[in-house]
Amino acid sequence: MENFNNPLYQIPIINYHKIEKNFDIGITARTPEQFEDDMYFLHKHNFQTVTFRELLKEKKFLPNMVIITFDDAYRSFYTTAYPVLKKYNFSAVVYVPFNYLGRWNDWDVQYYGKRFKHIAKEEALEIYKGGMEIGSHSLSHRMLTALDKKEAEKEIYGSKEALEELLNDQIISISYPFSRFNDDILTLTHKAGYTFGVASLYFKGIQQKYQSLCLKRFNIYRIDGKKSFRKKTEKKNVRLLTFRDWLIQKGGLATNLHQILIKQR
């Protein structure tokens, strides 16, 4: 059973992917104008951003905390989101699929073969030195639950080790690709030395001993208006949004099928 008395569970966690004018098939591309409005809302309502590293260091919880995360470490984070975060003195946790640093996201399904680029190694270093936390998003953004133990271990351990070598610092959190994990993946993640793990866990129960490795968060989609953004940041009246987002998330299965077919060629 989940221990909702743990103050860690009271902190809303919101997640972005791309900050782009261009539309993407997964509707994860939030426009720059929308992102600016989102950050202004947090600023106006006195939200305080916090990273997992800061939580681990300070060990104190405030009622107005929010954790902002970014999956995939797209270059639009560096060019568009990062300056806005700095403007409001906000921090974020950026989850990096290490093998894709400086490359295009050929693992993803997009219409007409459209691609988006990931940040480069030097850009990852820059945002880290600028106050952002870097987390693991595996080595190559593969669905961990679809891999055998050896391959899953490589993705989980390998990404942590590579990022730690790049940053010369410890990596303490992981975002599971496609939000898919099971007990075996949690065990590997724990043994690898991660302290926190995040996923869009809409209807999934969590084991007591792995709670900090299974933190729930809300994706912020292009279709989210001001009302739904507020609900997600305040974690209130989100039942319908939870079901809607669960349906949207199912679209990620198409990308996983794409990965399997590519591997079989």
Residue 256 confidence (pLDDT)? 53
Residue 261 confidence (pLDDT)? 42
Residue 3 confidence (pLDDT)? 47
Q: At how many degrees (to 10) do helices 226-234 and 239-249 cross?
A: 100
Which token pair is 81?
A: 């989101």
CATH architecture of 7-264: Alpha-Beta Barrel (3.20)
Residue 122 confidence (pLDDT)? 98
Which token pair is 264?
A: 């079989």
Q: Is 30 exposed, middle or buried (0-12, 13-18, 19+ CB in 10 A)?
A: buried
Residue 265 confidence (pLDDT)? 37
Instruction: Return the domain boundaries, the chain.
Output: 7-264
For 88, list phi and psi in degrees, rounded to 5.
-95, 10
Q: What is the pTM of this model?
A: 0.90
Q: Is 9 exposed, middle or buried (0-12, 13-18, 19+ CB in 10 A)?
A: middle
Average pLDDT by stretches of 10, the chain with 265 residues = 63 96 88 98 97 88 92 97 98 98 80 80 98 97 95 98 98 95 94 95 64 92 95 88 84 54 41
Contact between residue 151 and residue 259 where contact means Cβ atoms under 8 Å apart: no
Helix/strand/coil for 60: coil
Scored b (16 or more CB within 10 A) or e, 237-261 reads ebeebeebbeebbeebeebbeebee
DSSP of 136-187: E-TTT---GGGS-HHHHHHHHHHHHHHHHHHHTS---EEE-GGG---HHHHH
Nearest to 104 by CA among 115, 114, 94: 115
Contact between residue 85 and residue 44 where contact means Cβ atoms under 8 Å apart: no
User: Partners of 137 in the beta sheet?
Assistant: none
